Structure 1
């Protein structure tokens, strides 16, 4: 149950996805996404068995980065954080493109708020020899640094092709974590490192990058957990190594294959119903010089192959999912079928009785109004934001059910009573726009320079997560300061999603006639209905400018008329006296308590976003 509960709550491209389950005769059967290339241990073991199968240097570095990114997500961006506790190569699966998927969360542990400094003690020490950190084996100490140790061993296996713990006839048991220290200390390090690295690579790797990888792994497996780096720090180093690896060995523009038979994507045998769903891990190109007919339904839209004269067509990778109602399903039943199956994926919402909401909000009294249709509610000592909804909000609900990020507002429950009511986590410090507005109104409340930078980073991290680490990716489409909430520590929480899913067949581009946004935050391209991830980048740039200047995205001036905030920043950064002009642009409530050099860098970044 612990693994199911965890996988229901998280969404990351490098974590295996749980898609369903079945309970039959007391046994529970779980259905996961399929990893076409098996486990990492299978590939490394095939080299020990002198198989012709091998992973290239570039694949190994990418796998290390993918695993590091997944662990960093668990440690820093899920709410609450988690420790995997069982990191090893057999729990790292590889998809069709050899991208890593972290699996087997049976030992995973939630980091509770009452864990002092993230430290937990256990008497039940379970793991695999060679991957377990010394403090865990000896004293049962569980911290995020336990995963860092395991990750270091995985990197060493990727480098060497050896097992984490192996028996040598002469030397006895050899731990890989100990071997790397001997390699990197003393003389002839380059020669010793070449002898340590997997011979199946046949010296086809950059030695300087291999040395950097080995040094990083060595830091991860030191005995003192406090001396090990955090996963966020490790990821910075791996990002540089991966970037240098791609420069060293760039990919071809296209990867093509040919043969007498096309690659099989899915088998649909003995079909008796009218609707079939094809699910794939990535966008694929399929030859269709054959007789085809029928409808393929994916995510509330139909894809009908009517003309088979074309040589290729693309298949997206989504299925029906999310919060829905019987009425909605009946409306989407094109064949008037008598029986409908409704599957709730990632169900983790609490269903509340309307009476509970009345009691929690003082019968939706004025004293508990936060803003608009938002009410403050108290549930067993915890505060939540209760929102009474009008119209169809299924897209926002579907998205918030599927994702888990510490800088995205969390949906915790709902109630169906005349109007739909939803419960969100409570943002103690209201919205960013409220704070910037208080500055404009000469209130004593103000955000410090440090708080503004932290807020900008939080928002960027949330948007980057939506664009690159949810499956499928999403575009927020409504990025502005009133949709950025601040918790008790002034950490940003992204809210109010007009989000659009990026389909595999979009090529990152979508056209819409329904343009909804706020003047000043809207990308000029959206005036033509063009929707891409760069739409969010533009909105983010405007948010940065508001954080810098304390001004509104679009403000009226009696003499000059309306001026959009992204227009004056170009004038500020051009020509002479940039430093003086920037000081005049920056929010006066900061009282010059900021580093001007960094302010210039932030303004330049915002300018690039708003081009």
Structure 2
């Protein structure tokens, strides 16, 4: 078999010996041994593993012209001095007539007892799991049905580009399809792996340029002086400073480009210094934020501008939200900026668009479940545009995974915003984010936070159960923020600051649906966006109607006044008055 094969990813046959009952085969020397010896090696990076998988796929694509290997696994992959993979172990291999090649590749004309190239494709899918999990599969191992974030090597997970990982999952599950005809051919797999490797390279290249030296951060904050301090959270302190950061919008990936020649701009930034806690949650949250935000680009998602991991420090650099968080405006008497109903609806829509972007599977991007939607994690820029922030608890979810539910071992989130079904079952879905968003919607309507003492005094679970009860009783209007109503009384002509009846009803219906106690009854974010737009249009249209009536009456008054003046002028002219 080997004497007829010639490919850089197939082991070279040097010679053999068949003397005195001795049967010996000579191969080229593989310096690093076989792949199975390195599966758990932390020094075998994710990028190098991808290159190994691609080399194996190219070899199989070459073989499948007329050969089926029949025994692909990590122990049958040699690694040379450059970690280039070499397939060997052809003892079980078989050839098939070229006239049958097309039919064999698609396998629909043969029963499952026939060995076809799709047999190798399935084995290659298992090999991919070996590579990502860092161990060989075992009989009775049901890891495929688990959340992949729980079974893959965590050291590798922290190196992965989200888009690259999404393609990897797609390839793996398609190879393991139980129906032969639905498994891809190796030429398709090679193309997908090439795309994935390019994505991973781009990610690692970008990560390198997003690194900001600790010396620059200390210089910008005068050694983290209190004068730059703006706030703190559960996992760290935040500082405001001026810093030269990578101009992401004008950044292009160019291999070999010098770092000092990359486009930069001076910006006001938020510098978040994360506290390294013993529970490891802070470190995992830090890595999750970098991975997620580096792959997300949306006007309603906060932008990551850089990070630093020097001297055991974990520092994230974001765009600075000059108006602070949404929670600053709810129930606060110190904020001078008032939020009329139209602006509140627009903020709701901004948040909804950001969450919908996270929940939507796009090419190269998996679905993302935020897991901690609350007013404190909604930032407002100079124009009060809302941006979803704080992704430390977020989870990636790939549509190729068998279930749409993430099962978590540890409950995480903020109590007054947490999905009640998640609390009782530990099942987290994108509908759990919808519930949390429902709480935020009622916060925006009422002008108070979910855990305001007024609500907690009435119900220990805060705003959510109170909003549901009042909606069912028909007394929800009592929750409307009185500031909006008060301002209406102060102005004769104003953008209607309080909600009109139609807008209020449209808003309250969809907000109430978001707070359904079971996940199955909650709407998707697409539906939420549609209904919020309807509420905004109903509010604006009534205002436009009022303005039109005012203009008409004003014009009529003006015309009548002119006519009266002209009439009086004529009377005076003729001496009548």
> Normalising by structure 1, what TM-score?
0.46
- Structure exhibiting the larger radius of gyration computed from Cα positions: 2
- Structure with a larger share of its residues in helix: 2
| TM-score, length-scaled by structure 2 | 0.49
